[in-house]
């Protein structure tokens, strides 16, 4: 028995020690876990404070122009708050950052609460493209800035972009500037600049440029009045099949001599046959100044020209050369060098302005086609060589003012050829309607 108690005592000591040791270890681990939890909490608080400080610093830097911070905030808000994202992207875009500008072009229309969202998107798209020196985008960007579409108006910056486009020979920009420099909304009108840009558009074979340049010469806008030059530019447009230019070229020939009356009759006839209805009455009136013995020959020339015009494109100056030859006109056909010199003189010094005040041209809105009701002008076409037009005609003597010939008018109206152009015009309309 004593031995058993002794052995039990000997076994109990390690067991007790093990229990005590285990309790000590457990308590120590609990203490360590508690300390770790406190440490983790302190670390979390430090991280939160650091994040708050970092965000405050990011916000401060973004507000003071730090682009990377602005982009970071924009990206952060993009999925949760589109308006706030656009706010930060816009700040970066205004600082000429490509990422910000592309983000504005991409996201502006996504803001359904912004009525100008679509306009802003188009504006920033133009900004991005204009940075690649795209002439159309430069022109579009310029108009947006002038009109305040999708951006605060900045007329000065807008005109700079339009000029950059025009200098790249983008015709719509050249025509815009031609109107801008005489527009009522422009307090600093420069007629010589208006003429210069219109002439550059004409030099690029644009029909509107032809007609606008003619108007400048006819009215004395930025250049001295010159009837011959006005006729030349109108006939350049008339050669390309523009019925309005044909009608106006005819009008410019009125009131001079019998040969001019014959040319007026030709262009009135062609304009009417081409669909310009107002030309019929004018054509029938101008015949009073053409001898009855010449009218048939005049109509032969008109028909030859009309047939040539129906096969577009017509070679530049081919029909002008024909009229010069048949009716003894002193031809005006400026070379590119001469046109460049005129443009240079107007652009650099403005010394081509007439001494007398020119006829005012009212341009109330930009862009606009203010003269000769030119909104109906057809698109210009590429001019290539065509077959030469030949005809034989008896030419009345030039140099004398034609008198009104009532007898000739009566005889004209009795002849079958009096209605030939009317039937030709009707035939053209019927063919167009059947297509």
Residue 94: pLDDT over 80: yes
Q: Phi/psi of residue 11, each to 5°?
A: -75, -30
Q: Is the dihedral of CA 149, 153, 156, 157 positive or negative?
A: negative
What is the per-residue pLDDT across 115-134, written as a single tens digit (0 to 9) for each? 999 999 999 999 999 999 99
The percent of residues in the chain predicted with pLDDT above 70, rounded, is 76
Closest CA to 209 of 172, 252, 161: 172
The pLDDT score that the predictor gives to residue 294 is 85
pLDDT at 366: 42
Which of 33-42, 176-185, 338-347 is predicted most confidently? Answer: 176-185
pTM for this predicted structure = 0.71
How far is residue 61 from each of residues 27, 88, 98, measured CA to CA in Å? 50, 12, 19
Top pLDDT among 5 and 107 is at: 107
Closest CA to 106 of 92, 121, 85, 126: 121
What's the confidence (pLDDT) of residue 197?
Answer: 96
In this structure, of 278-282, 310-314, 401-405, the range with the lowest mean pLDDT score is 401-405
Task: List beta partners, residue 183.
Answer: 363
Domain assignments of the chain as residue spans, ordered by start: 174-348
Q: Is the dihedral of CA 214, 215, 217, 221 positive or negative?
A: negative
pLDDT of residue 13: 64
- CA 367 to CA 261: how far, in whole Å? 36
CA distance 160 to 230: 30
pLDDT of residue 4: 61
Residue 396 has pLDDT above 80, yes or no: no
d(CA 376, CA 200): 21
Q: Using alpha carbons only, how large is the chain's radius of gyration in Å?
A: 41
Which residue bears the tokens 């795209």? 134
Alpha-carbon dihedral sign for residues 66, 67, 68, 70: positive
* Residue 366 or residue 12, greater confidence: 12
pLDDT-derived band at 384 (thresholds 50, 70, 90) equals very low
Residue 172 to residue 167: CA distance in whole angstroms:
11
Tokens of 210: 């032809």
**pLDDT digits 0-9 by tens, 177-218:** 999 999 988 888 899 999 999 999 999 999 999 999 999 999
Report pLDDT for 199.
97
Q: What's the pLDDT score for residue 2? A: 61
H and E: helices and strands count for the chain: 19, 0
pLDDT of residue 376: 31
Pair 372, 244: CB distance under 8 Å: yes
Neighbours of 350 (CB within 10 A): 15
- CATH no. of 174-348: 1.25.40.10
- Comparing C-alpha atoms, which of 216, 391, 231 is closest to residue 300? 391
> Any idea which residue has 């999925």 for tokens?
79
With bands split at pLDDT 50, 70 and 90, how would you rate the model's confidence at 268? Answer: very high
CB neighbour list of residue 408: distance below 8 Å, 6 or more residues apart: 287, 288, 290, 291, 292, 295
Average pLDDT over residues 398-418: 37
The residue ranking higher by pLDDT, 395 or 300, is 300
- Count the neighbouring beta carbons within 10 Å of the beta carbon of residue 120: 22
């Amino acid at each position: 028995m004593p031995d058993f108690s002794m052995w039990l005592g000997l076994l109990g000591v390690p067991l007790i020690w093990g229990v005590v040791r285990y309790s000590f270890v457990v308590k120590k681990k609990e203490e360590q876990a508690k300390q770790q939890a406190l440490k983790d909490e302190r670390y979390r608080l430090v991280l939160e404070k650091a994040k708050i400080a970092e965000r405050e610093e990011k916000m401060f830097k973004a507000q003071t122009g730090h682009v990377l911070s602005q982009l970071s905030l924009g990206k952060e808000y993009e999925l949760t708050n589109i308006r706030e994202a656009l706010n930060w992207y816009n700040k970066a875009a205004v600082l000429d950052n490509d990422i910000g500008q592309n983000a504005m072009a991409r996201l502006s229309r996504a803001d359904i609460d912004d009525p100008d969202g679509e306009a802003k998107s188009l504006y920033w798209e133009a900004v991005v493209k204009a940075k690649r020196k795209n002439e159309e985008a430069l022109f579009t960007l310029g108009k947006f800035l002038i009109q305040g579409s999708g951006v605060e108006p900045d007329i000065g910056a807008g005109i700079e972009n339009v000029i950059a486009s025009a200098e790249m020979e983008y015709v719509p920009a050249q025509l815009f500037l031609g109107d801008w420099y005489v527009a009522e909304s422009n307090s600093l009108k420069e007629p010589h600049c208006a003429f210069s840009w219109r002439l550059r558009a004409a030099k690029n074979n644009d029909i509107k440029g032809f007609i606008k340049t003619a108007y400048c010469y006819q009215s004395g806008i930025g250049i001295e009045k010159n009837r011959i030059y006005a006729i030349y530019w109108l006939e350049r447009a008339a050669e390309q099949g523009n019925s309005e230019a044909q009608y106006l070229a005819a009008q410019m020939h009125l009131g001079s001599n019998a040969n001019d009356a014959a040319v007026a009759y030709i262009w009135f006839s062609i304009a009417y046959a081409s669909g310009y209805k107002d030309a019929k009455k004018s054509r029938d009136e101008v015949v009073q100044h053409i001898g009855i013995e010449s009218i048939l020959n005049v109509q032969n020339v008109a028909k030859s020209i009309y047939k040539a015009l129906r096969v577009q494109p017509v070679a530049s100056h081919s029909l002008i050369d024909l009229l010069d030859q048949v009716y003894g006109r002193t031809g005006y056909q400026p070379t590119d060098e001469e046109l460049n010199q005129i443009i240079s003189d107007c652009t650099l010094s403005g010394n081509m302005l007439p001494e007398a005040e020119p006829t005012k041209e009212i341009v109330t809105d930009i862009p606009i086609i203010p003269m000769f009701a030119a909104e109906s002008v057809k698109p210009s076409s590429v001019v290539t060589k065509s077959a030469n037009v030949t005809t034989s005609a008896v030419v009345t003597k030039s140099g004398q003012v034609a008198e009104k010939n009532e007898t000739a008018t009566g005889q004209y109206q009795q002849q079958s050829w009096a209605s030939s152009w009317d039937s030709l015009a009707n035939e053209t309309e019927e063919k167009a309607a059947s297509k």
